[in-house]
Chain A
Amino acid sequence: MAKTYDYLFKLLLIGDSGVGKTCILFRFSEDAFNTTFISTIGIDFKIRTIDLDGKKIKLQIWDTAGQERFRTITTAYYRGAMGIMLVYDITNEKSFENIKNWIRNIEENASADVEKMLLGNKCELEEKRQVSKERGEQLAIEYGIKFIETSAKASIRVEEAFYTLARDIKAKMEKKLVSKLYTPRGGHQLKASELQKKPTSWLSRCTIL
């Protein structure tokens, strides 16, 4: 059967225990009816289909188990991951400080071109905030990645975060594809029709560069 999608992106959620990774990926758990079969065995990953600029994107999103620490997450875990959401809790200074360790771990174990994004979760808990938005932004700038504050509880910007990460991976892939098409020894002759298909994304790439 023909493929029913244009891109497949594998995404991971990483961060300290308790920052809200599971709630971001799955349903916010306070109202979960936990006498069900599924809530006892737990969910491993989700497949979601989104539409970006007319392309069908399949997202396969994985949570990480609570006990795991950056010391124990190694290459096997990151295999195939194209995007990573780095999550901290804005009411927990330590979880923010540990982002640096998570990034180091990703650099040591994940593919070099994995797309990363920083999430400051629990942003609806303004009165308990320990990490200012500015510090989050600053850290993201330092690492050259995007940053967004979310709340899994209040459903604030969670979807936006996934769309943003997916859009960035897609842009990166299309950029790679174009450079491959333009490589003389790539063995693939560029057809006029292929070029004409993506005039808008080509333009937007130029403005990023």
Chain B
Amino acid sequence: MPDCSENYEKEISDGKNARNIKCKYCNSVILTPSTAAFTSFEFQLPLIRQSKINEQNPETENVSLFWAVTDMFTFQNVGFSNTVGNNKYLTCADCEAGPIGYHDLSNKMSYVALSRVIHS
């Protein structure tokens, strides 16, 4: 699913998330309102479902809209994957769907892709 910035405008208030950020699949609350900052940059995020397993070279898509979280304990519920390169991938804590984003070990920032979660 492509990112579409227009759709997300109402989700941003004062640069932060206006509403709860939840898992698309099971509705588990990932972040509560006003706890993550909107940010935009390009990142190749692995697809949730891979057509074949290839850990070194997963199929990815270009994602550019993120919620940035500075302290990992800001998350309400989240899973951190084992380390891959310099990152850990983020998952839903309940149904383990993911990656919904990634955690950068070098600067300790976590980024949740807007397109991989729901806002409600």
Using a CB–CB cutoff of 8 Å, the interface residues on chain A facing chain B are 1, 4-5, 8, 26-27, 32, 35-49, 58, 60
Per-position binary interface string of chain B over residues 83-120, scored 1 when its CB falls under 8 Å from any chain A CB and 0 otherwise: 11000110101111111000000000000000000000
Q: Which of A4, A37, A44, A48 contacts B77 (CB 8 A)?
A: A48
Asked if A44 and B49 make an inter-chain contact with CB atoms under 8 angstroms apart, the answer reads: no
Given contacts A37-B98, A41-B82, contact A47 B72 (CB under 8 A): yes
Assess whether B75 is interfacial by the CB under 8 Å rule: yes
Task: Give the residues in chain A near B89, CB-CB below 8 Å.
Answer: 37-38, 41
Assess whether B21 is interfacial by the CB under 8 Å rule: no
20 A-B pairs (CB sep. < 8 Å): A4-B74, A27-B96, A32-B96, A35-B50, A36-B98, A37-B50, A39-B96, A40-B55, A41-B82, A41-B84, A43-B91, A43-B96, A44-B83, A46-B79, A46-B80, A47-B72, A47-B79, A48-B77, A49-B75, A49-B76
Task: Give the residues in chain A near B99, CB-CB below 8 Å.
Answer: 37-38
Question: Helix, strand, loop or mixed for chain B's interface?
Answer: loop
CA distance A134 to B17 in the complex (A): 51
Distance between B81 CB and nearest chain A CB, rounded to angstroms: 5
Distance between B61 CB and nearest chain A CB, rounded to angstroms: 12
CA distance A32 to B94 in the complex (A): 12
Q: Which residue of B lies closest to A43 (CB)?
A: B79
CA distance A5 to B76 in the complex (A): 10
Give the size range of B's interface with the partner.
35 or more
Task: Give the residues in chain A near B83, CB-CB below 8 Å.
Answer: 44
Task: Give the residues in chain B near A40, CB-CB below 8 Å.
Answer: 50, 53, 55
Asked if B95 and A27 make an inter-chain contact with CB atoms under 8 angstroms apart, the answer reads: yes
CA distance A67 to B93 in the complex (A): 24
CA distance A42 to B55 in the complex (A): 11
Asked if A37 and B78 make an inter-chain contact with CB atoms under 8 angstroms apart, the answer reads: no
Distance between B63 CB and nearest chain A CB, rounded to angstroms: 14
Task: Give the residues in chain A near B4, CB-CB below 8 Å.
Answer: none
CA distance A18 to B89 in the complex (A): 26
Known: A41-B55, A41-B84. 13 other contacts (CB 8 A): A35-B49, A35-B50, A36-B50, A37-B47, A37-B48, A37-B49, A37-B58, A38-B79, A38-B99, A40-B50, A42-B81, A44-B80, A46-B77
Asked if B91 and A60 make an inter-chain contact with CB atoms under 8 angstroms apart, the answer reads: no
Distance between A152 CB and nearest chain B CB, rounded to angstroms: 14
Assess whether B64 is interfacial by the CB under 8 Å rule: no
Q: Which residue of B lies closest to A42 (CB)?
A: B82
Task: Give the residues in chain B near A48, CB-CB below 8 Å.
Answer: 77, 93
Distance between A56 CB and nearest chain B CB, rounded to angstroms: 9
Asked if A46 and B93 make an inter-chain contact with CB atoms under 8 angstroms apart, the answer reads: yes
Asked if B93 and A44 make an inter-chain contact with CB atoms under 8 angstroms apart, the answer reads: no
